[in-house]
């Protein structure tokens, strides 16, 4: 007995550890995106996201205050301050300087506390905490301060600006409208295909009629139709019959594009349901419609729920179908994916916004996933067989 318990707990440990490894592998890339969503574009492009969580040694370019900050001390003209200070504000995110320089030729020529003689440009001393003193025998001229290259260990720095950019007041109104528009698209585009597909799947699984196998094959064949090809004929059709661009056309399009997979998945699940239940019901005089509504639908809940999750996801994250079938040139019926694309520049490359947007738009699908998960219950079937 002990022995069995021992192997059992050992096995459980193996399971736990394997799942941890698997989850870690799957999560790790996304973690990079999450961390990046709290960084500025420059930070993302200049250092790895993993490095941002720890103090790092970096070489950066800073400037002394401009010449208009100078004061006269006897015969000397002096500018004092802290190189980490931004435009007169208190130094933020100060680092620990390990070396510094004043020329691109040698960016770590000096140790903290040493003085660099820049000849006609004066003499500069920089301390480890960033405090500096620049002095000269003649008045400083020009508009900009002296460049200082420092090699410093800086503490981690994160920002909420990206989230402010997407959800902030400037964009909130548009985003809220896009949110409702997106829901208006996704919910019918999820529910309607499931209903239609469930009936069709039942017919293909449990009803006997000529041409059934061919129909099943046709459904599989249609899974493969590339979306890009369907766009022009269908939009033309919508324009011809007067639907034009709008919600109705979008629901129909999503229904059409999601239908083969829905039928295929649901049919496969329904075929696996125990034959006795259905035959018993038939013997009891139930019609196919009753059997479907009272027995098949409840039993198929796990399959319905899993397809609902996917169809919801696709319609939620879809941009192409929305652009072609929904959003007309007036731009009133915008959806969230589009609202986010609007924030990106024309030439792309705004990775910080992309990263943030990914987490903003993932929230609802994850809630749906959690909500649906309780329908993926074990034993529903087992219970009803007994």
Partner 1 sequence: MNRHLMAGVAGLALCAGAVQAQDLMVPVGEGGFNWDSYSAFADGHDFAGEQLTIFGPWLGPDAEALENVLAYFREATGADARYTGSDSFEQQIMVDAEAGSAPNIAVFPQPGLAADMASRGFLTPLGAGAADWMSENYAAGPSWVALGTYAGADGSESFYAFPYKADVKSLVWYIPENFEDFDYEVPETMEDFRALMDQIVDDGETPLCVGLGSGGATGWPATDWVEDLMLRIHPPEVYDAWVTNEMPFNDPQVIEVLELYAEFTGNDDYVAGNAADTAAVDFRDSPKGLFDSPAQCMMHRQASFIPAFFPEGTVVGEDVDFFYFPAFEEKDLGSPVLGAGTLFAITNDSSAAHGFIEFLQTPIAHELWMSQEGGGFLTPLTSVNTDVYVSDVRKALGDILLNATTFRFDGSDLMPGGVGAGTFWTGMVDYSSGAKDAATIATEIQSSWDSLK
Partner 2 sequence: MHPALQGLITIVLGVAGCVGYFYFSNQFLDKVLYPARGENAGRNINRANQIRPWLFLFPAIFVLGLYLAYPVVETLRLSLTDRVPGGGYEWVGFQNYAQMASEPKFWEAMRNNMLWLIVVPAFSTAFGLLAAQLTDRIVWGNIAKSLIFMPMAISFVGAAVIWKLVYDVRPIDQDQIGILNAILLGLGREEPVTFLTIPFWNNFFLMIVLIWIQTGFAMVILSAALRGIPEDTIEAALIDGAGPMQIFFKIKVPQIMGTIVVVWTTITIVVLKVFDIVFAMTNGQWETQVLANYMYDKLFRASDWGVGSAAAMIIMLLVTPILVWNVYNARKEMR
Question: Which residues within the stretch 135-174 sit at the binding site for partner 2 (CB under 8 A)?
Answer: none
In this structure, what are the phi and psi dihedrals at residue 144, rounded to the nearest 5 degrees? -115, 155
Strand pairing report for 131-136 and 76-82:
antiparallel
For residue 345, state whether it binds partner 1 (rule: CB under 8 A).
Answer: yes
Q: Is 347 in the site for partner 2 (CB under 8 A)?
A: no
223 makes contact, choosing from partner 1, partner 2, none, with CB < 5 to 8 Å by partner type, with partner 2
Contacts 24+ apart (CB under 8 A), 233-241: 234/325, 235/324, 235/325, 238/325
How does DSSP classify residue 117? Answer: E
Strands (E), the chain: 56-63, 71-73, 76-82, 96-101, 115-117, 123-126, 131-136, 147-154
Identify what 147 binds: partner 2, partner 1, none; CB under 5 to 8 Å per kind.
partner 1
Task: Give the residue with the Cβ less far from partner 2, 33 or 109.
Answer: 33
φ and ψ at residue 145, rounded to 5 degrees: -75, 175
Sign of CA pseudo-dihedral 69, 72, 78, 82 = negative
Check binding of 225 to partner 2 (CB under 8 A): yes
Nearer to partner 1, 94 or 243 (CB): 243
Contact between 245 and partner 1 per CB under 8 A: yes
Residue selected from 261, 278, 322, 335 as contacting partner 2 according to rule CB under 8 A = 261
Tell me which residue of 258, 274, 267, 287 sits closest to 199, measured CA to CA: 267
Q: Which does 277 bind (CB under 5 to 8 A by kind): partner 2, partner 1, none?
A: none
Using CB under 8 A, which of the segments 65-73, 111-119, 128-136, 180-188 binds partner 2?
180-188
Cα–Cα distance for residue pair 62/54, rounded to 1 Å? 21
Which stretch of DSSP H or E encloses residue 92? Answer: none
- Binder among 144, 164, 172, 212 for partner 1 (CB under 8 A): 144
Interacting stretch for partner 2, rule CB under 8 A, among 67-75, 144-152, 167-175, 206-214?
A: 206-214
Which one of partner 1, partner 2, none interacts with residue 283, CB within 5 to 8 A by kind? none
Residue 69: CB minimum distance to partner 2, A = 33
- Pull the structure tokens for residue 133: 């003193």
Q: Which of 268, 277, 281, 286 binds partner 2 (CB under 8 A)?
A: 268
Residue 204 engages partner 2 in binding (rule: CB under 8 A):
yes
Residue 161 CB, nearest distance to partner 2 (Å)? 17
- Assigned token pair, 77: 């003209």
Does residue 322 sit in helix, strand or coil?
helix
Binding residues for partner 1, rule CB under 8 A, total 46
Q: Where are the alpha helices (DSSP H) in 136-226?
A: 161-167, 169-206, 212-222
Is residue 378 at the binding interface for partner 1, with CB under 8 A as the rule?
no
Closest CA relative to residue 262, chosen from 320, 322, 204, 335: 204
What are the C-alpha distances in Å from 229 to residues 233, 234, 321? 8, 9, 12
Output the six-digit token pair for 245. 């661009």
Q: Does position 233 bind partner 2 by CB under 8 A?
A: yes
Q: Does 61 sit near partner 1 (CB under 8 A)?
A: yes
Q: Of residues 95-114, which lie at the interface with partner 1 (CB under 8 A)?
A: 103-105, 107
Give the residues lining the site for partner 1 (CB under 8 A): 40-42, 45-46, 59-61, 103-105, 107, 143-144, 147, 149, 228, 231-232, 234-236, 238-239, 244-245, 319-320, 323-324, 327-331, 338, 341-350
């Amino acid at each position: 007995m002990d022995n069995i318990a021992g192997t059992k707990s050992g096995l459980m440990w193996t399971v736990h550890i394997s799942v941890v490894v698997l989850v870690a592998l799957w999560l790790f890339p996304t973690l990079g995106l999450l961390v990046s969503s709290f960084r500025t574009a420059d930070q993302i492009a200049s250092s790895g996201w993993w490095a941002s969580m720890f103090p790092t040694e970096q070489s950066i370019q800073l400037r002394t205050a401009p010449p208009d900050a100078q004061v006269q001390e006897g015969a000397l003209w002096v500018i004092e301050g802290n190189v980490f200070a931004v435009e007169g504000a208190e130094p933020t995110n100060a680092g620990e300087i390990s070396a510094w320089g004043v020329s691109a030729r040698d960016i770590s020529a000096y140790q903290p506390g040493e003085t660099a003689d820049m000849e006609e440009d004066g003499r500069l001393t920089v301390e480890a905490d960033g405090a500096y003193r620049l002095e000269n025998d003649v008045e400083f001229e020009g508009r900009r301060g002296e460049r200082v290259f420092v090699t410093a260990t800086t503490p981690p720095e994160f920002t909420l600006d990206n989230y402010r950019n997407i959800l902030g007041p400037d964009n909130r109104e548009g985003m809220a409208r896009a949110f409702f528009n997106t829901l208006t698209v996704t919910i019918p585009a999820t529910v309607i295909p499931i209903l239609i597909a469930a009936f069709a799947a039942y017919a293909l699984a449990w009803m006997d009629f000529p041409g059934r196998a061919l129909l099943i094959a046709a459904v599989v064949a249609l899974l493969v139709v590339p979306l890009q090809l369907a766009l022009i004929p269908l939009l033309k059709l919508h324009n011809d019959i007067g639907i034009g661009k709008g919600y109705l056309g979008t629901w129909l399009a999503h229904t059409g594009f999601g239908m083969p997979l829905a039928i295929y998945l649901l049919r496969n699940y329904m075929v696996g349901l125990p034959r006795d239940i259905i035959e018993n019901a038939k013997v009891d005089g139930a019609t196919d419609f009753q059997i479907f509504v009272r027995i098949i639908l409840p039993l198929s809940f796990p399959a319905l729920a899993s397809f609902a999750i996917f169809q919801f996801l696709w319609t939620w994250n879809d941009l192409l179908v929305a652009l072609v079938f929904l959003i007309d040139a007036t731009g009133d019926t915008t959806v969230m994916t589009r609202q986010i694309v609007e924030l990106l520049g024309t030439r792309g490359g705004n990775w910080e916004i992309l990263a943030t947007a990914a987490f903003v738009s993932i929230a609802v699908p994850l809630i749906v996933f959690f909500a649906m998960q309780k329908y993926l219950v074990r034993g529903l079937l087992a219970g009803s067989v007994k």
